Amino acid sequence: MSDAVSRSMIGRPAATANPKRAARPGLPWASVVRRGQGLLLPLLLLIAWEGVVRAGLIASNLLPPPSELVGTLRELTAGGAILPHILASSLRVLAGFVIGGGLGVLVGAAIGLSPRAERLVGPTFQGVRAIPSLAWAPLLLLWLGIDEAPKIVLIAIGAFFPVYLNVVSGVHNVDRKLVEVGRIYGLGPVALARRIFLPAALPSVFTGLRSGLSLAWMFLVAAELIAASRGLGYLLTEGRESGRADEVIVAIVTLALLGKLSDSALAGLERLFLRWRDTHRS
């Protein structure tokens, strides 16, 4: 009797372990399927788009099907026509985002840490934030000419406000008990900002940076539509003037892909910083 019980008890771990071992080879496939779910809707939209145009429900000169857009993209890529536009737009967004996002972090932290400064400056920033992007363009062209400066400044304006608002909100939401503990240990304003406020507000900071990056791409198009001889916004204008809807759509899709890639890169950087913060806390 005891031998039968012992044999059954010995056999149980093997019985419970086997399903786990059998499931392990399927884990990578399950991960691929889970990550690929986001592609399902775009694929369905592309198939529907192709079918609607091929059925003649929409004129192909107004909305070219995806199969024709692939040919247009191949033509632009093979001739090297689109690469200078991508490079010019990317550099403008990078410069404007670094300037606007950096100022947004600094100003947001300063105002978030000082209630008096927020009362003095906050209402003005709220009013300036409501100005549409295209309203800035004529003034910047008058002040800075038609070179790169007005485009970069316009992009910086677009990137500044989301970062500023999220940093202020993140600083306000820091647990005041942590601040009191830091003061008890003799931390000054700079040390408090570096060791308590910034790590605690890091998720809000990156939320603002990602929102600012998204707006930087939007403001880029506004800048390049007005005064540019190179860039994806200029490619949009050129396609409109020449009546090439395929070129316009390719430029729009390229902008969407660049925006998604840059946002994914920033999200990866956010995970690294949060992991570093949690490691140093523990």
Start-to-end C-alpha separation, the chain: 51
> What's the CA gap between 59 and 71, in Å, rounded?
18
> What's the CA gap between 105 and 102, in Å, rounded?
5
> What's the CA gap between 218 and 20, in Å, rounded?
48
What number is the average pLDDT over the span 172-186?
A: 81
Residues 195 and 91 in one domain: yes
What number is the average pLDDT over the span 245-252?
A: 92
66-114 per-position pLDDT tens digit: 999 998 888 888 877 889 999 999 999 999 999 999 999 999 988 988 8
Cβ contacts of 187 within 8 Å, gap of 6 or more: 195, 196
Q: Is the pLDDT of residue 240 over 70?
A: yes
* Range scoring the smallest mean pLDDT among 94-98, 101-105, 176-180, 258-262: 176-180
In this prediction, residue 102 carries a pLDDT of: 95
* Range scoring the smallest mean pLDDT among 54-63, 73-82, 102-111, 267-276: 73-82
**Residue in this structure with the two tokens 């677009």, named with its chain if needed:** 158
The answer to whether residue 181 sits within a structural domain is: yes
Residues 238 and 132 in one domain: yes
Residues 112 and 239 in one domain: yes
Residues 253 and 209 in one domain: yes
Top-confidence residue, 186 or 16? 186
Cβ contacts of 73 within 8 Å, gap of 6 or more: 82, 250
Q: At what angle do helices 83-113 and 202-226 cross, to 10 degrees?
A: 140
Residues 189 and 239 in one domain: yes
Residues 174 and 70 in one domain: yes
Residues 23 and 139 in one domain: no
Residues of the chain with pLDDT > 70: what percent? 87
Task: With cut-offs at 50, 70 and 90, classify the pLDDT of residue 30.
Answer: low
On whether the pTM is more than 0.85, the answer is no
Residue 179 sits in which domain range? 66-281
> What's the CA gap between 49 and 70, in Å, rounded?
14
The answer to whether residue 47 sits within a structural domain is: no
In this prediction, residue 280 carries a pLDDT of: 67
Residues 135 and 26 in one domain: no
In this prediction, residue 164 carries a pLDDT of: 95
Q: How many domains is the chain built from?
A: 2
The answer to whether residue 46 sits within a structural domain is: no
Q: Is the pLDDT of residue 192 over 90?
A: no
Residues 5 and 93 in one domain: no
The answer to whether residue 179 sits within a structural domain is: yes
The answer to whether residue 152 sits within a structural domain is: yes
The answer to whether residue 41 sits within a structural domain is: no
Residues 78 and 141 in one domain: yes
The answer to whether residue 144 sits within a structural domain is: yes
Residues 22 and 112 in one domain: no
Residues 71 and 152 in one domain: yes
> What's the CA gap between 41 and 38, in Å, rounded?
7
The answer to whether residue 51 sits within a structural domain is: no
